[in-house]
Structures are given as C-alpha cells and as structure tokens.
Amino acid sequence: MELFYRIVTLLGGLAMFLYGMRLMGDGLKASSGGAMKAALAKITDKPIKAFILGLFVTCLIQSSTATIVLTVGLVGAEFITFRQSIGIVLGANVGTAITAQIIRLMDVQASSDSILYFFKSDNLAPLALIIGIVLIMFVKSASSNNAGTICIGFGILFSGLMNMSAAVSSMHDVLEGFILSFQNSYILGFLSGIAVTGIIQSSSAVIGILQSIASSMGVIFSGVIAVIIGVNIGDCLTTFLVCRIGAVPSQTRTVTVHIIYNIFAALLIIVSLIILRTTGILGDDIWYMTMNSGGVANVHGLFRLIPAVVSLPFVGFFADLAEKIVPEVHDDEDDRDPMLEENLRKLDSRLITNPTLALNESSILIGNMCDVSIHNYTAAIQQLFEFDQKREDRIQRRENLLDRMADATSQYIVSVSPYISRDEDKKLQNFQLKAIVCFERIGDLAVNIIESLATLREAKKTFSGAALEEISIAMNAVGEILDLTSDAYESGDTKIAQKIEPLEEVIDEIVEELQGRHMIRMTEHRCDVFNGTYYQNILLNLERVSDQCSDLAVALLARRDESISGHEHQYLHNLHHSNNTNYKQAFKSFYKKYFDQLEATDDVGESDGEQLSIEETAAIGDETPENSVNA
C-alpha cells in the first residue's frame, strides 16, 4: 500500500504540473490580446521568419501542441498557406524546450544570502502563488487578472514538480530498477518515451518527470537519449490525432509535415550519435556521464534545435512529400453545395481559443451571408417580371444555405465567449450576432416575396402596368439600401452606415404612398381584393428588408459609439426629431430621387386581373430593378 500512495503522490504532482502549465498558457494568451494572433495571420513566406514566430509563440504559451493546433486552424481558415505553416511547425518544436530550461531551476544550489537563492523552486513557487492571488483578489483589473493567472500557474507548476521530486525520492528502489532497464535498453527507453507522452499528451510533462528523476537520482546520457527521441515522436503523434479530426487536406498536410520532420530529426540524431560514437568523438566519459535536471534540459534543447536548423533549407522537400502522402480530395457529389462546404469549413474549432482570429473568420462568413441574402433578393424580384422555375429552385437552395450558415456561425461565435477578454472582441461578437439575424431575416423576406408571387401565379393573376412600375421604384430603393448595408458591413465605415437610416425612412414613405395609390385603384375597381392583398404583402416585405438594414446600421454605429449601445431606439427617436444636418440632407436627397420617379409614372388604368403580355412585362422588367442580376 505504501507504494500505491507514493504513486498517487507522483500522479498528483503531475496533475499540478499539467494544470499549472495550462494556467500559464491561458494567462499568457489572454494578456497577449490580438498581438500574437495578428502576427500569425500576417506570416510571410520566408521559412526563417515563420520558424522564429513558431519558436516565440510556443515559448509564450508553453505548448508546441497548442501552437501547431492553432497553425492548423489558420491553414484551414486560409490565413496562411500550407507551405507557410511548415516554418511555424519547426519553430514550435524548438520552442517547447523552454519549459525544460525553466524546470532546471530546481537544481539551483545557493546559500540564503545569494541572489541565486531567490531562483530556487521551493522559493519561487510560494512567491509566485502569493503574487498571483494578490493580483487576482485585490487589484481586480483585466490585466492584473491575466498576470495573476500566469503567476498562479507558475507556482502550481513548480509545486507539482516538487511533489513529483519528493515522490521520486521516496520510490528510490523501484525507480532505480526502471531507470537501469531503459538505460540498458535503448528500444525500451524509446518506446517508453512514446507511450508515456501519448498517455499524458504533453512532451513537456514527460521531460519534467525525467528531470525530476535526474534531479533526485541522476540519469546517464546514453539512457536519456532514447527516451527523449521517443518523447519527440510521441508528441507529434498526439498532435496528429488532435488535428486530424475534421481536417481538410491542407490541414492534414501540416500535421503530416510535423510527423515527417520528427522522424527525420530522430534519424538525424541517431545517425549522428552512431558516427560520433564510432569515431571516438563521443567518448565513454560523455556517454556514461550522469546528468542532473539541467543536463536533461540541455540535451532535450539541442535535440530540438539542431534538427530544426538543419531542416530549414528542406521545407520545400517536406511540403512536396506531404502533398504526395495527402493528395487533394475532389468531391464529385452532386447534392453538396460547394459554396456551403467551402465557407462552413472555415469555421475551424481550433481557433475558438483565439477570439480575434475566430471572429475574423466568422466575419468573413457573415459577409458571404450578406452576399447570398442580397442575391436572393434580386432573384426574387426578377421572378415578378420574368418567372423562371430554375431560378426559384436556386432561391430555395440558397435559403437553406443561409439557414445553415446562420446556425453554424451563431454557434461558433457563442463558443468563443469563454475565451474573450478584450472589450473590442466582445463588441465585435455582439455586432456579428446581430448581423447574422439581419442577413438571415433578409433571406426569409426574399422567400416571402416569391411565395406571394407563386400564389398569384397559381391564380393566374398579375399586377397592372402602373402597379409594376410603382413597385419597381420601391424595389430599386430597397436594392440601394441593401448595397449600402453590404458596403457598411464590409468596410465598417460609420459614414456609410449613417446614410442607411434616412433611406430607410424614405422607403417607409414610398411604401405608404404606394399603399395609398393601390387603395385608390381598388376602390375604383381597377384592382381586385385578391391582387391587392398580395401587392400589400410584397410592399410589407420590402419595408421589413429596409428595417433589417436599419437595425444593422445602428448596431454598427453602437459598436463604435458606446452612448448608442443599449439605447438604440432612443438614438433613432432623437435622430428623427433632431436638426442633424447630414441626416436631413441625406433624407431630402433620397426623397427627391425616388419621389421624382413616382411622379413620372402614369397610371394606365389597366385591370389588375388582366394578364399582361410577356413582352409588356419583360419591358418593365428591363428597367427594374437597377441592381438586378441574372440570378
């Protein structure tokens, strides 16, 4: 039973080590804000720069797996290419060795009056914990909370290491036999490195255990080599399993390069050691040298650094090999929408721990939603002037596409919430959720329009020439407000956004005017009630489209101006009753543009029940709407 409790102590120390490392990484990522993410997104095609960036980021977040997972996400999101990612992968492999260099502080030997005494792990751990808890509980700011989390993580990490060392010391007899077994059998050492890394899923933790053993008992150089090589291989296999789930070919190639590189590095080290040993350069004094924690850290660092530097000139070869192993997949299924699959797969779950990058990616997809919704609107109004069953089928398919994009994007944006620490990211998240609702609703309204037209068509009814000319003017106005909304969303320009509300008010005036004109036609029996009902329905849907555009514009303005946020209705009320020069001038300009067109229309007095000829309807359709496309 005594051995059991010692093993529990060892595993408890390991748990503290892993949790401390995670806390440090979380705190460092949060405190870095968008800087690290922006640097990754702007990576160049120079392998040496990518290498340095991968090295730096891994040193920062203390996890090569996290860096490579993030890189795989960037490749999937098309921020960087597969070939650009290779340098980051090589740098990440070197950066992970920094943890071992931190752990070597356990070997610091100094008296209490020496400055080095401060760096002993049993002094650093409690000091870091004290500083961390003070920053979190008493300072209470976002930056101090992140700094406190880093300190707490650092303290827990070293406390875990000290627990592991204490457990190792108390298990001297058992571990001595285990160490001797892998020191005398390189294959056993290699396999144990792979197996333990695969179970723990952290090469840093395994090296930390090895350093704890070295610090307590000492290990020989030849025995450590095989374990470290196994650890490196086990680390890349773990990363492959994490990144392979749901990955596209370019992402799979990135993790494949990680495996290729580590196999290459292992072979390079083995061949080099054989040559050095055979030639006598690596003598018995080094081969059987007993190493402490610092020695293990140095060997691990060299085994990571030297192969990476040697490999840099061969990144092209690694890329070619990965492309042969993982060829491009061509999907020939007729029932899959290529645009849907292309856009949805960019919402890579590997990016959600990095809100700036994740929200950047969701912003692109919402922009695509905007394009699809406008496309559906223009196609829907084309159906009024020139019915095409294939076009109607495409509208329905795009509506399904919009719904799926809206659901997936909303879930993705919400999943980012636990990782948001910056106010700017929170504002962007709220704005994006609003934008999704607006664009999805515009798509629904376009479908409402074609459903009204379908009912008219089934009843073999149509609108009079006057009604068509008038409603086409309203459709042009709605087309213009949609274009402004799209431009405002894409650019984030508040000046464009400020033009949307006055145009929305003009559209309300147009709809009211057309409703009045149509009521006159019905009372004069130039329009029957059936046609009048669906004419009013279409006008109502046009007005609601402009309302969605107004909502999005106000949400964009609120994102830039905190005085509007939470008081949107009051802002609009004040704007409508103010002497705002820009608003009044824009309103007058839009009013004159569209009401001049209305005044120029002639009521030809046709019965709404009378079917126009195809040529007459198409002639009107040639003039409307201005933003119409062959949809």
Domains and CATH numbers, the chain: 2-325 (no CATH), 338-623 (1.20.58.220)
Other CB atoms within 10 Å distance of the CB of residue 520:
11
Q: What is the Cα–Cα distance from 22 to 403, expressed in whole angstroms?
A: 37
pLDDT at residue 607 greater than cutoff 50:
no
Contact 362, 432 (CB under 8 A): yes
Instruction: Check whether 335 has a pLDDT greater than 50.
Output: no
pLDDT digits (tens, 9 = 90+) for 307-331: 999 988 888 888 899 888 888 654 4
Residue 313 is given by DSSP the state G
Q: What is the pLDDT of residue 611?
A: 39
Give the side-chain half-sphere CA count within 13 A for 242. Answer: 22
The helix/strand/coil state of 290 is: strand
Q: Do 202 and 269 meet the contact criterion of CB atoms below 8 Å apart?
A: no
pLDDT above 90 covers what percent of the chain?
18
Provide the pLDDT for residue 383. 85
Q: 492 pLDDT exceeds 60?
A: yes
| Residue 538 to residue 520: CA distance in whole angstroms | 18
Tell me the pLDDT band of 443, cut-offs 50, 70 and 90: very high
% of the chain at pLDDT higher than 70: 74
Average of per-residue pLDDT across 580-594: 91
Predicted local confidence at residue 165, as pLDDT? 58
Q: What value does the mean pLDDT of the chain take?
A: 78
> How sure is the predictor about 623, in pLDDT bands with cuts at 50, 70 and 90?
very low
> What is the band of 619 on the pLDDT scale with cuts at 50, 70, 90?
very low
Separation of alpha carbons 50 and 39, rounded Å: 10
- Residue 165 CA to residue 387 CA, distance in Å, equals 79
Decide which of 4 and 362 is more confident.
Answer: 362
Cα distance between the two ends of the chain: 76
What is the band of 544 on the pLDDT scale with cuts at 50, 70, 90? Answer: very high
C-alpha closest to that of 72 among 353, 486, 268: 353
What token pair was written down for 483?
Answer: 């274009």
With contact defined as beta carbons under 8 Å apart, do 572 and 492 qualify?
A: no
Least confident of 2-16, 218-232, 526-540, 581-595: 2-16
Which residues make Cβ contacts (< 8 Å) with residue 351, sequence separation at least 6?
70, 73, 74, 77, 357, 358, 361
In three-state secondary structure terms, 220 is strand
* pLDDT at residue 40 is higher than 80: no
From CA 618, how far away is CA 622, in angstroms rounded? 6
State mean pLDDT over 27-41: 53
Q: What's the mean pLDDT in 149-165?
A: 75
Q: What is the pLDDT of residues 354-390, one digit of tens each?
A: 888 888 888 888 988 898 899 999 999 888 888 888 8
Buried b (16+ CB within 10 A) or exposed e, 393-428: eebeebbebbeebbebbbebbeebeebbbeeebebb
Whether the Cβ atoms of residue 482 and residue 549 lie closer than 8 Å to each other? yes
Q: How confident is the model at residue 550 (pLDDT cuts 50, 70, 90)?
A: very high
474, 515 contact by CB (below 8 A): no
- Residue 288 pLDDT more than 80? yes
What is the rounded distance in angstroms from the CA atom of residue 214 to the CA atom of residue 220?
A: 9
Report whether 154 contacts 139 (CB < 8 A).
no
Task: Report whether pLDDT(496) > 80.
Answer: yes
Q: Which pLDDT band holds residue 626 (cuts at 50, 70, 90)? A: very low
Region 421-429: what's the mean pLDDT?
Answer: 87
- Stated length of the chain: 631
Q: For 520-536, what is the mean pLDDT? A: 77
Per-residue confidence (pLDDT) for residue 228, from 0 to 100:
87
- Find out whether 20 and 205 touch, Cβ atoms under 8 Å: no
CA 318-268-271 angle, to 5 degrees, is 145
pLDDT at position 540 is 93
Q: Which helix (H) or strand (E) holds 193?
A: helix 186-200
Measured distance CA(550)–CA(253) in Å, rounded: 45
